[in-house]
């Protein structure tokens, strides 16, 4: 009944406001000017809202005077200062700097392979040998000649010290000895290329060429082994250039591996010094421990990097923030609740910072200790009296 009464008052009030202009309204409608019609509609809408606001104030005053005041029920959260860590979420791939293909250094038949796939090897361990084509026999001959030239040089040197013989004989013996020594060293170096050794400690991931295969140095297709070291793994992440000043060495990083269902906490080890012009990003390296060997190269990882921290941040739920027509954000504060948990609502314009996990950092407009309206925040008005349930 009361609603019908107020509706009747609103209708009469609108009629009184626009009665004198009824002829003008009819002329605007008959004129058919779209802009004029919209302008008139906006004017009447504003009048209607003003009257509705006045009626609500009258409702509140009548309820207060009659002792039948029914206050809106709300819940609040108290704003406190706390530590706030914001994390940038990105995706990266696991890499290792020790993941290489091993190529032969000389052509020949793969005489023998000493390792198999999955075998752990140490740095310098012999992996395979290549048929040297008689080079070892040539080395033996050169070593014999070198031994003879050394003996000849030593004897000639002693004679020369005793002033026996000519200087030219001494110099010839010395030159012959040095030439033989150099020839032996050169052939030893060449013969060393007939063996394939592990460049670092790791695991033989793939034996590409079988024993008896003819191999030769060259490009793709001439690989013999792939060796991987899984102890020094890292994640390669591309970070947008806008975070260049906030992400640096030592920043905390949380890494999650969806495939493994496992996560670890580590720190940024290295930040790149080059901005990729194609995607405007720079690269960072995040080391990951791999004690059980479960983490493999090229494994996808989700990375959260700490790009901002505040030890005295005011955090409130993101869901209780509203925005007005001017684009300003605001929240409702219950000012100084009394002993009966009744308070007056005040709309506070706020400035917000970063968000994380459903909470937003408030930079201004709210201070520690404020009671922020949570449940019921969408239905209260500035200056309205409410009752706090909690």
pLDDT confidence band for 230 (50 / 70 / 90): confident
pLDDT higher than threshold 50 for residue 2: no
3-class state of residue 390 by DSSP: coil
pLDDT higher than threshold 70 for residue 13: no
Q: For 9-29, b where at least 16 C-beta lie within 10 A, e where not — what string?
A: ebeebeeeeeeeeeeeeeebe
Predicted local confidence at residue 64, as pLDDT: 61
CB proximity list for 306: less than 8 A, separation 6 or greater: 85, 86, 87, 88, 251, 252, 253
Predicted local confidence at residue 4, as pLDDT: 45
> Among residues of the chain, what percentage have pLDDT more than 70?
91
3-class state of residue 97 by DSSP: coil
Predicted local confidence at residue 8, as pLDDT: 46
Quote the CA–CA distance of 326 and 323 in Å, as a whole number.
8
Region 310-326: mean pLDDT is 90
> pTM, whole model, 2 decimals?
0.57
């Amino acid at each position: 009944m009361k609603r019908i009464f107020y509706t009747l008052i609103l209708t009469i009030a609108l009629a009184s406001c626009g009665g004198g202009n009824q002829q003008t309204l009819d002329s605007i409608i008959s004129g058919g000017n779209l802009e004029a019609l919209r302008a008139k509609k906006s004017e009447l809408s504003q009048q209607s809202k003003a009257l509705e606001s006045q009626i609500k104030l009258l409702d509140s005053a009548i309820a207060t005077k009659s002792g039948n005041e029914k206050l809106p029920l709300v819940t609040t959260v108290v704003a406190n200062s706390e530590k706030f860590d914001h994390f940038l979420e990105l995706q990266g791939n696991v890499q290792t700097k020790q993941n290489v293909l091993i190529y032969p250094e000389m052509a020949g038949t793969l005489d023998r392979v000493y390792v198999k796939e999955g075998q752990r090897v140490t740095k310098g361990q012999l992996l395979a040998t290549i048929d040297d084509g008689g080079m070892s026999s040539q080395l033996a001959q050169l070593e014999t000649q070198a031994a003879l030239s050394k003996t000849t040089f030593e004897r000639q040197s002693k004679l020369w010290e005793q002033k026996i013989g000519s200087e030219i004989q001494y110099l010839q013996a010395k030159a012959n000895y040095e030439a033989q020594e150099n020839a032996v060293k050169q052939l030893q170096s060449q013969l060393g290329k007939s063996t394939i050794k592990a460049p670092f400690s790791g695991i033989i991931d793939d034996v590409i060429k079988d024993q008896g295969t003819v191999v030769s140095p060259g490009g793709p297709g001439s690989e013999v082994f792939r060796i991987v070291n899984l102890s020094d793994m890292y994640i390669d992440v591309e970070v947008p250039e806008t975070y260049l000043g906030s992400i640096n060495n030592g920043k905390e990083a949380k890494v999650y591996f969806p495939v493994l269902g496992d996560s670890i906490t580590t720190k940024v080890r290295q930040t790149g010094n080059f901005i990729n012009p194609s995607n405007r990003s720079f690269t960072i390296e995040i080391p990951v421990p791999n004690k059980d060997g479960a983490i493999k190269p090229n494994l996808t990882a989700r990375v959260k990097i700490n790009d901002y921290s505040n030890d005295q941040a005011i955090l409130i739920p993101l869901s209780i923030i509203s925005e007005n027509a001017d684009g300003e954000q605001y929240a409702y504060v219950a000012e100084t609740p009394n002993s009966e948990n009744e308070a007056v609502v005040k709309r506070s314009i706020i400035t917000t910072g970063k968000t994380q996990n459903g909470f937003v950092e408030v930079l201004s407009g709210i201070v520690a200790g404020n009671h922020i309206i949570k449940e019921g925040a969408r239905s209260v008005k500035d200056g309205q009296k409410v009752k706090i349930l909690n």
